[in-house]
Amino acid sequence: MTNSAYISGVAMTRFGKQPDRTIEQLGREALLKALKDAGIERRDVDEVFCGSLFGGTLIGQRILRDLGMTRIPITNVENACSSSSAALREACAAIAVGRAETVLVIGIDQLTRLGGGTIPLEKTDIEVNLGFAMPALYAMRARRYMHETGATSQHLAMVAAKAHEAGALNPYAQFQNRITAEEVLASRMIADPLTLYMCCPTGDGAAAAVVTTHKRAAARGKPVRVAASTLQSGLYKTGFRDMATSELTVRTSKLAYEAAGIGPEDIDVAEIHDAFTSAEMMYYESLGFCGKGGALGMVERGDTKIDGAKPVNPSGGLLCRGHPVGATGVAQICEAVWQLRGEAGKHQVKGAKVALTHCTGGGISGLDHGACAVHILTT
């Protein structure tokens, strides 16, 4: 890549269950607000990438049609939970090679249309046929992590309580209520040791970002640079795979740190893929925020709270902001941009200059994850 990509505008809908709205309405709300935030008109957009897992055929075209945004390149991207993160990477590439000067990225999904339950998986996958489901997989990983590090259910509950503390301050969050670690432990069991509040909710929502050149972003006064945009797929293993470490996250984040010319110690705020509380703790370690087993101390000290030494998920994360799958990656970018601009309101991390977002996607036989995207943003 040659030209640096910048983000000049971001916006999102509130996440949650919104069965009374169409998926197209959610997408249009987010994109129009993002264009307004960037100070541009619809006609200024050269290209569009739309990330979605369950949006259906030509979701991007369906969103843009009624706004008159036609006769431009529209690419729909599916990469499980990393769909819109992958879309953002493609937008950055379009800017880098000079193919476009302003690119719109949309992340969107409406899971209430699926009728509830766990996210449906590919039926031809052998592990799915043997009973694989995301909560069950993460429960196995949690048990292995607890065995190797000495983590307890109390640690997992403290992560959830921290998420609710942050979510209560975020007007876009699906859950805006505080709960205690004791309430987390008392909630119904989903897959031992994971209780209800240790698992992220599904819902509906959309997020959008405007990716552009430095010149155009600087015209708005607060340009945020994409210092790194990395995407990797999982390593296939036919035998036992390490369930207590995310090799894919280690590898992808290492590439991101190298591209940005920084290390994990330089990250001021992070939005990571906390689909389950045990995963958040594992990712502290896989992203290099601490060594193996170091997540226990981070949780106990409150390091990852908004006012902690290494704030993680000040938005409330997937656990409280919500997880409309395809919308999550760009929602993380929205939060990172607001943090770097100093516009995050009550959940602002003081003095944030460097932000990291991390979004994994999917689970299929023999892989840690199907995809992982890490972005690093700077002022």
User: What is the CATH number for 239?
Assistant: 3.40.47.10
> What is the per-residue pLDDT for 116?
60
Q: Establish if 267 belongs to a structural domain.
A: yes
Task: Let me know if 81 is a catalytic residue.
Answer: yes
Are 209 and 236 in the same domain? Answer: no
Q: Establish if 1 belongs to a structural domain.
A: no
Are 79 and 183 in the same domain? Answer: no
Are 279 and 355 in the same domain? Answer: yes
Are 357 and 280 in the same domain? Answer: yes
Are 238 and 305 in the same domain? Answer: yes
> What is the per-residue pLDDT for 1?
45
pLDDT tens-digit series, residues 134-180: 888 899 999 999 999 999 999 999 999 999 999 999 999 999 999 99
Q: What percent of the chain has pLDDT over 70?
A: 92
pLDDT interval class at 122 (50, 70, 90)? low
Asked whether the predicted pLDDT for residue 210 surpasses 90, the reply is yes
Q: Establish if 121 belongs to a structural domain.
A: no
Taking residues 67-76, what's their average pLDDT?
Answer: 96
Residue in 81, 320, 334, 359 annotated catalytic: 81
Q: Establish if 263 belongs to a structural domain.
A: yes
pLDDT tens-digit series, residues 244-276: 889 999 999 999 999 999 999 999 999 999 999
pLDDT tens-digit series, residues 283-327: 999 999 999 999 999 999 999 999 999 999 999 999 999 999 999
3 state SS for the chain:
CCCCCEEEEEEECCCECCCCCCHHHHHHHHHHHHHHHHCCCHHHCCEEEEECCCCCCCHHHHHHHCCCCCCCCEEEECECECHHHHHHHHHHHHHHCCCCCEEEEEEEEEHHHHCCCCCCCCCCCHHHHCCCCHHHHHHHHHHHHHHHHCCCHHHHHHHHHHHHHHHCCCCCCCCCCCCCHHHHHHCCEEECCEEHHHECCCCEEEEEEEEECHHHHHCCCCCEEEEEEEEEECCCCCCCCCCCCCHHHHHHHHHHHHHHCCCHHHCCEEECCCCEHHHHHHHHHHCCCCCCCCHHHHHHHCCCCCCCCCCECCCCHHHHCCCCHHHHHHHHHHHHHHHHHCCCHHHCCCCCCEEEEEEEECCCCCCCCCEEEEEEEEC
pLDDT interval class at 368 (50, 70, 90)? low
- What domain range is 311 assigned to? 126-200+228-378
CA-based nearest residue to 151, from 255, 21, 281 = 281
> What is the per-residue pLDDT for 83?
98
pLDDT tens-digit series, residues 45-54: 999 999 999 9
Average pLDDT, the chain: 94
Asked whether the predicted pLDDT for residue 128 surpasses 80, the reply is no
> What is the per-residue pLDDT for 105?
99
Q: Which residues contact 140 (CB under 8 A, 6 or more apart)?
A: 243
Are 277 and 315 in the same domain? Answer: yes
> What is the per-residue pLDDT for 2?
59
Are 185 and 54 in the same domain? Answer: no
Are 211 and 317 in the same domain? Answer: no
> What is the per-residue pLDDT for 239?
57
Are 245 and 339 in the same domain? Answer: yes
Are 208 and 264 in the same domain? Answer: no
> Which tops the pLDDT comparison, 147 or 363?
147
Per the structure, the count of domains in the chain is: 2
Are 209 and 263 in the same domain? Answer: no
Taking residues 81-107, what's their average pLDDT?
Answer: 98
Q: Establish if 195 belongs to a structural domain.
A: yes
Are 136 and 247 in the same domain? Answer: yes
Asked whether the predicted pLDDT for residue 131 surpasses 70, the reply is no
